[in-house]
Structure 1
């Protein structure tokens, strides 16, 4: 079984990384200017596409942060490594690959 404190360190390190990435990408998610005089139509379309991609990446980061927070909560509760669906132990390899995993491979599929 993976050591819960090792998992906590890995989860918190990943959490810090995601928060830092979110802060760096804040400008890319901001509203695109409607001023056609300063930005041409194609440039504005590129900016809108970039904004949409940045917003999608942020949604993925938020979802991963929620999974990380839930995993840290399970560590605190003493239930880390137990499948939330069937209660069986999650395989060590699965937890090593994804410390935030909440389901065993059988329940995940």
Structure 2
């Protein structure tokens, strides 16, 4: 199995790159009625809203990754944060930042 620390840190770098690439899309939309039509402005506002939603998603993923890295430091990585049971290796392989076992997620 690949080192989870390496995978998590690589994903953090990828999120940083995505943030940098998406930064221009999140800037305020200029509503100059002389230079753009109504539909163009609506498209620009919608694109801005989608870019902001993606930024929030990346921030949430970044928090999950930092929490997983902390669990690695604490020696608690791979164990469910709710029940303490071991998380299935296949589940960790699919999402190295996962914090809960399947049983606890299902409730």
> Which TM-score applies when normalising by structure 2?
0.96
**Does 1:100 pair with 2:97?**
yes
* Correspondence for 2:28 among 13, 26, 31: 31
Greater than 3 Å deviation, 4+ residue runs: none
Unaligned runs of 5+ in 1: none
Unaligned runs of 5+ in 2: none
* Correspondence for 1:22 among 19, 22, 25: 19
**Does 1:68 pair with 2:59?**
no
> Which TM-score applies when normalising by structure 1?
0.94
What root-mean-square deviation, in Å, do the aligned CA atoms of Structure 1 and Structure 2 show? 1.0
* Correspondence for 1:88 among 64, 85, 90: 85
If asked which structure has higher relative contact order (CA below 8 Å, sep 6+), I would say: 1
User: How many residue pairs end up in the alignment?
Assistant: 106
Distance 2:9 2:27 in 1: 27
